[in-house]
Chain A
Amino acid sequence: MLEIRDLHASVDGTPILKGITLTVNAGEVHAVMGPNGSGKSTLAQVLAGHPAYEITGGEMLYNGENLAEMDAEVRAQQGVFLAFQYPVEIPGVSNAYFLRAAYNAKRKAQGLDEVDPMEFLDLVEEQLKLVDMDPAMLHRSVNAGFSGGEKKRNEILQMAVLTPSLAILDETDSGLDIDALRIVANGVNALKRPENATILVTHYQRLLNYIVPDYVHVLAGGRIVKSGGKELALELEARGYDWLLEAVA
């Protein structure tokens, strides 16, 4: 589904990613871990098409197509989804309106008819249960005045509505208490399908107790310095990142 080959990216001329190679197949869950500043959030943003990052080398193939040539909205319409570390507040635009606009944009790209507000409400009500959200939240402005936990649940709600093929969760666990973490993790697990894949970007192993990865990759200095199975996360939890960084240095 996703093939990243020797990917280099920089922001304002400063190289951040320095040769990432990673293959993600349908049905897999990959965890990307690493210390602060390792480039893991950059990887997430680059995959979603943030315009601030410049691809300086390598390639990203998504279902065989070159991701770098697609605008962010096209990637989203093709099934790439990024759950933001810091979801953006959009005062004045209701959650329901925003979700429907996104949903219809995807349908339009697939050549399907747009759904009207009533149809859409029926559809979204099912998904609300998944993240234990009050339907009243649909009528509030997108993320405006939401708590940290509510914002992250709202990201998962968007993911549930948009049913992406490739979901990238950027530090979705950060700042969550254990109850919110469970809700978010349950939502992600419930959305798992053999035909879609998930990349979890996280600093902590804690999330991986709830969403079990098939592969764990450790990013440092803009490169993947170690890959392994889920047991690698436990090792990192026990030993920290320093031993790996020293080994690489």
Chain B
Amino acid sequence: MSTTLLAPALLSQATAAASAQAPDALRAQREAGARAFEQLGLPTTKVEDWHYTSVASLADASFVPMNGDASGVTAEQLAPYLFSTSWPTLVFVNGVHAPSLSTIDALPDGIRVLPMAQAMTTLGDQVARQLGTAAPADRDGFTALNASFLGEGAVVHVAKEMVVDTPVHLLFVTTDKGVGGMQHPRVLLYAERHAKATVIESWVGLTDGAYFSNPVAEVMVEDGATLNHLKIQREGRQAYHVSTIEARQGRDSHYVSFCFTTGGQLSRTNIYTVLDGEGCGTTLNGLTMLDGEQHGDVQTRIEHAKPNCFSRQIYKSILDDTSHGVFNGKVFVRDIAQQTDGKQTNNTLLLSKTAQVDAKPQLEIYADDVKCTHGATVGQIDQTALFYMKSRGIDADMSRQLLTYAFAAETLETIENETIRDELEGVTMRRFTSSD
């Protein structure tokens, strides 16, 4: 018995069509993607990493490539998701770059932000060489699918030693016009030596209809560079969202990821990084808040490939109604990666008796002189804390709301950029307390 579905027929047809129509520079990549997808198909729950997340309903759906129809989308509609109107923002509507809604004319020094199509023309080989390096097409069915539709997305490049304080925002929006569609954008983030920058990748659904987002981000953090990468997933209630982030890190670099998840009927985020230079580190934090029948899965994999590297992870979930959360955190320490310092924390707050979580920390350690810890908790609101609030006269409902917010705030507080932190704290506070 194969452990994967055969590639669903409709998707295979679509990948073949995409290869046939590919521009020259992308033809080889798309063909490789289509071939890999034909081989791999979509994973079943028999695949270990997909044990708790079934994509069977996705395989049965018949999504067609989105056509980028941005008609009727206004700046006002996007405003609530922008963080700041003064930040360079590249907007994609229904799978395609929307120049009229984007604001990337006045970029800070040292940073380039390009839609993928333009990057292919102006940077050509430089981009082609990077595509598929960190996230090869044959990694799994979803990266294969993404590769077979290669063409949309963005390239962010930070020149060496440039410290860019202003965040760059990549905003992917789906509207009613994108219902029934799928999008496979590729994002390349490249921070050269000793550069520092912040990139936000937002996924927003302005529709209650079903669609499928399948982005892949490839991240290069060269020696001494620091890259803050925030993935804010607020897809529509019926959306499918499967995304993979693959980072490669050089010596003394720092990759800082924050993964904020509230959207989608079924979402899965894979964050993988390879600590491939001495003294580098990664911080992967996240907050998932689900209700109704939502299913949200976060998987991390940190490969310690060189000595003296650190990794820090704090992932929290707040699950209500019959929602289902999954967290799987893998830390892989190679035999030469001595003095590795790894710490993983995963806490889940269940707000209802029917919400469910599957949390699995996985440590695979082949070096003998390392410090790796992990801890996972699943619980309800702490009764002592609840009593503390009530003993100050605050009523039970409000006490519960504030404590729920407090649980979330502990991860949000780790976001370095104040504007982003304040905004997400506000979103979270309103979610639980209906006030600011």
Are A and B co-members of a single complex?
yes
Q: Is A141 an interface residue (CB 8 A)?
A: yes
Interface flags, B384-420, vs A, CB<8A=1, else 0: 1101111111111011001101111110110000000
Tell me the smallest distance from the CB of B314 to a CB of chain A, in Å: 12
Q: Which residues of A contact B388 (CB under 8 A)?
A: 84, 87-88, 90
Query: Does A88 lie within 8 Å of B393, measured CB to CB?
Result: no
CB distance B383 to A73 under 8 Å? no
Given contacts A51-B387, A76-B390, contact A92 B396 (CB under 8 A): no
A residues less than 8 Å from B391 (CB atoms): 48-49, 72-73, 75-76, 81-82, 84
A92, B390: Cβ atoms closer than 8 Å: no
Given known A-B contacts A52-B383, A93-B402, A98 and B409 have beta carbons under 8 A apart: no
CB of A164 to closest CB in B, whole Å? 10
Closest partner residue, chain B, to A87 (CB atom): B388
B425 interface residue per 8 A CB criterion: yes
Which residue of B389, B395, B399, B425 contacts A92 across the interface (Cβ within 8 Å)? B425
A91 x B413 contact (CB < 8 A): yes
Q: How far is the CA of A76 from the CA of B390 in the complex (A)?
A: 8
Q: In the complex, are the beta carbons of A92 and B398 less than 8 A apart?
A: no
Residues of A within 8 A of B405 (CB): 92-93
A90 contacts B385, CB within 8 Å?
Answer: yes
Instruction: List the A side residues contacting B395 at CB < 8 Å.
Output: 73, 105
For A106, list chain B residues within 8 Å (CB).
393
| Interface pair B413/A98, CB less than 8 Å apart | no
Contact between chains at A101 and B384 (CB < 8 Å)? no
Q: Are B392 and A158 in contact (CB under 8 A)?
A: yes
A62 to B332, CA, bound (A): 61
B393 contacts which chain A residues (CB < 8 A)? 73, 76-77, 102, 105-106, 109, 162
Question: Bound state CA distance, A105 and B394, in angstroms?
Answer: 6
Knowing A82-B391, A92-B425, A93-B409, the reply to whether A71 touches B396 (Cβ < 8 A) is: yes
Partner of B390, one of A71, A81, A90: A71
Check: A50 CB closer than 8 A to any chain B CB: yes
Q: A73-B393, A102-B394 are in contact. Are A92 and B409 (CB under 8 A)?
A: yes
Q: List residues of chain B with CB within 8 A of the CB of A75.
A: 391
Residue A98 contacts which of B390, B392, B396, B408 (CB distance < 8 angstroms)?
B392
Chain B residues with CB below 8 A from A52, complex form = 383
Whether the Cβ atoms of B394 and A92 lie closer than 8 Å is no
Mark interface residues in B51-70 (1 if CB within 8 Å of A CB, else 0).
00000000000000000000
Question: Which residue of B has the minimal Cβ distance to A168?
Answer: B391
Known: A88-B384, A101-B398. A162 touches B410 (CB 8 A): no
- Given contacts A51-B387, A52-B383, whether A91 and B394 have CB atoms under 8 Å apart is no
Residues of B contacting A92 in the complex (Cβ-Cβ under 8 angstroms): 405-410, 412-413, 425
Report yes or no: A101 in contact with B402, Cβ–Cβ below 8 A: yes
A103 to B319, CA, bound (A): 31
Q: Which residue of B lies closest to A88 (CB)?
A: B388
B residues within 8 A CB of A84? Answer: 388, 391
Tell me which of A52, A87, A101 has the highest count of chain B C-beta atoms within 10 A of its own C-beta.
A101
When the two chains form the complex, which single residue of B384, B385, B394 contacts A73, counting CB atoms closer than 8 Å? B394
Within 8 A of B (CB), among A1-57: 48-52
List residues of chain A with CB within 8 A of the CB of B425.
Answer: 92
CB pair B402–A91 under 8 Å, yes or no, is: no
Chain A residue numbers with a CB within 8 Å of B384 are 88
A90, B403: Cβ atoms under 8 Å? yes
Type the 1/0 row for A59-95, where 1 means its CB is closer than 8 Å to any CB of B: 0000000000001110111000110100110111100
B410 touches A91 (CB 8 A): yes
Known: A90-B406, A91-B409. A51 touches B392 (CB 8 A): no
Provide the bound-state CA to CA distance between A72 and B271, in Å: 45
The reply to whether B392 and A91 contact each other, CB–CB distance below 8 Å, is no
**Once the chains are docked, how many angstroms separate the CA of A87 from the CA of B385?**
9
Q: Cβ of B390 and Cβ of A73 under 8 Å apart?
A: yes
Q: Is the CB of A50 within 8 A of B403?
A: no
Contact residue among B387, B389, B392, B399 (Cβ-Cβ distance under 8 Å from A162): B392
| Chain B positions within 8 Å of A109 at CB level | 393
Q: Which of B385, B392, B409, B410 contacts A76 (CB 8 A)?
A: B392
Chain A positions 125 through 159: 1 when the CB is less than 8 Å from some CB of chain B, otherwise 0: 00000000000000001000000000000000010
Q: Chain B contacts of A102 at CB under 8 A?
A: 392-394
Q: Known contacts A72-B390, A73-B394, A76-B391; can you find 11 more A-B pairs with CB under 8 A?
A: A88-B384, A91-B410, A91-B413, A92-B407, A92-B412, A92-B425, A101-B398, A105-B393, A105-B394, A158-B392, A162-B392
A-B complex: 4 closest residue pairs judged by Cβ atoms: A92-B409, A76-B393, A102-B392, A105-B393
A-B contact pairs, 28 of them (CB 8 A): A48-B387, A48-B391, A49-B390, A51-B387, A72-B387, A73-B394, A76-B390, A76-B391, A77-B393, A84-B388, A88-B382, A90-B385, A90-B388, A92-B407, A92-B408, A92-B409, A92-B413, A93-B402, A93-B405, A93-B406, A98-B392, A101-B392, A101-B402, A102-B392, A105-B392, A105-B394, A109-B393, A141-B409
Residues of A at the B interface (CB closer than 8 Å) are 48-52, 71-73, 75-77, 81-82, 84, 87-88, 90-93, 98, 101-102, 105-106, 109, 141, 158, 162
